Amino acid sequence: MKFVTAYIATGAVFLVCDMVWLGLVAKGFYRSRVGGLLLEDFNLPAALAFYLIYLAGVMLFAALPAFNAGSWKVALAFGAAFGFFAYATYDLTNLATLRGWSVSLTIVDIAWGAVLTGTSATLGYLAAKFLHAS
């Protein structure tokens, strides 16, 4: 049950932070760099699939090691590393293959992935630990 709680809490933090980032904070930044590639409305099934699959990865590569170690620091470090590698894969592939994909976009998005995933994994771990303390 603790793992399910961590998944839900991590997902809630991730989704809220990502929506604020993409919808408010960095909206103009992304639009100015990839505006021609953006859909008018996002593809909801694809977005849901991404979040569900990505969060499963966060659970496997950050939350599980954190629970095994009993440390939020492991959730933070492994979450940030997972986010870094996952976002780097996406952004560097785009930089290598898409016309107009910029280095600045790549750097900002990779950093965001690391911060977002590390923060989400940590807060999800802490929520599950708090709610399931015995």
Give residue 40's pLDDT: 83
Q: So where are the chain's domains?
A: 2-131
- Residues 25-61: pLDDT tens digits? 998 999 898 888 888 888 999 999 999 999 999 999 9
* DSSP code at position 134: -
Short-list 53, 26, 43, CA closest to 107: 26
0.75 cut: is pTM over it? yes
